[in-house]
Structure 1
Amino acid sequence: MPAQPHDAVNPAGGTDVPVIPATGRLVFGWLLVGIPLAYGVVTTLSRVGQLFG
């Protein structure tokens, strides 16, 4: 039976290689999206309050 790609053996002896996420880039990305989103939600809710209040 020919070898399949999922049959490959880890050259490090079968130990898992930890993945280190780029934490700084992740936080920057969330801030880049989250700050304008939060501003939009607060602005919308304040205008809805003025409309119905």
Structure 2
Amino acid sequence: MNPQAPNSNAADTSSGGSAVIAWLFVGLPLAWGVSQTFLKALALFK
């Protein structure tokens, strides 16, 4: 038996917050880069 099993819920909630922060850390610069690439590509077709 695992004596730490009842405390695993506390770790799950903190890891969810960490996952959101990690996705934002990667996703925001990625979204900015994609938008800048799209805007520069539009200039090619004008």
Aligned residues: 39
- Give the structure 2 partner of residue 23 of structure 1: 16
TM-score, normalised by the number of residues in structure 2: 0.69
**Structure 1 residue ranges, 4+ long, deviating more than 4 angstroms after superposition:** none
Q: Which of structures 1 and 2 has the bigger CA Rg?
A: 1
1:51 aligns with 2:24: no
TM-score, normalised by the number of residues in structure 1: 0.61
Read off the aligned partner of 1:23 and give its amino acid letter: G
Identity among equivalent pairs (%): 36
- Give the structure 2 partner of residue 33 of structure 1: 26
- How far is 1:52 from its partner? 1.4
- Give the RMSD, CA atoms, in angstroms: 1.9
- Consecutive unaligned residues of structure 2, counting only runs of 5 or more, are none
- Consecutive unaligned residues of structure 1, counting only runs of 5 or more, are 1-10
